[in-house]
Structure 1
Amino acid sequence: MVGATKGRQRQRISPARTELMSLVAEGSRDLARARQLVDALIAERVPFDESLLGGGPWQVVFSSGPLLWQAWTALGDSLTPRRIGRRTNKASQDFDPAQRSVVNRGEVLGAYVFVTASGTYRPLDASATTPVEIKASIESGCLHLGRRQVGLPIKGSGRVSIAYLDADLRVFRSSSGSTTVQMREAELARLLGGSP
């Protein structure tokens, strides 16, 4: 967490970030405002510190556009109105910058049935500020059914841009324009006053 602490001390807190965190804390349904705030964060072009990618898992709190993991988590979420920072089925990601590994997780029926996809990543450029493009290569998948695990033939690679990154909040944007906002799970729990 030393890198996260350094990043937190170095970077000023923007009004767009503060307001977006408020929308998450409230469980707001103002998706249009959330999109505006995310665009403002992306425009900030903050310093890129790869070590801030770690310390997860990082939970998805807002997304726009078509994303593969949404198909996994849609079952429970289709039963309730969409609220920023609140999902029946959680989607998260855990990067390890030291190993350059990544694990994606999408719940299908809460913590009892979920899918993981594991692999590696690497930055494709050496930019000192966001956005920074990375390539992720997924090498294996697993369906978790309670205590049982079933291997899945999930493999492939893709590129995504890290459009904003600080100690507790990050934004990814795909080449198709899809955007995902993630919060460090521990910070999300603190913000929501309990379990995320």
Structure 2
Amino acid sequence: MLDSMMFGVRNRMEDMHRNFENLSTDSNGNTNAHSFSSSSVMTYSKVGDEPPKVFQASSQTRRAPGGIKETRQSLKDSESGLEKMSIGHHIQDRGHVLEKKHNKKTGERELNQDFQNLDESEAQSFDEEWQQEVSKFRPFAPKSSLEAPKPKVVHRAALTAATGTDQGRRDKANPKPEGRKIHIEDLKVKGSGMVKQ
């Protein structure tokens, strides 16, 4: 019963994702807009002393004008031990999809490449073309959308100042202003919008 329920959930997720993809394209499969779709599902079951069964799947699609598309899919199934992830880059009807699989129970690892309307020899030039097309929409972003985000630098002084702890350190970092106070009249600023009466 549980297996049929999980199978039904998987099918509904795939149908939902497929339907969303169809909304954002014309009859030729082209799009003139940016779109992002994401779907995910997780099931958990535990019976008696058996280890829990967890199934997770997610799918994301990013689209840009000109038939540019990036797909990401992942799956993790504790019952079979299978973990897989794929990333696909597409331009119109051409595509290059990388898929990694790992079975935690058997230790088996696999890397597959799928070429859609491409020869394997064209993979590098296609990947460069895809990066060039994507960079038109993100001129200041890193070339690869697959790069991990850079870690943010957090300074200890900023953290302690916000929480009010480590008062001595905060006082040294931000000493109180001393000396004479300056008033705006003392600055003798002339401007077209200010008239002193």
Structure ranking higher on relative contact order (CA contacts 8 Å, 6+ apart): 1
Greater strand fraction, Structure 1 or Structure 2: 1
TM-score (norm 2): 0.26
TM-score (norm 1): 0.26
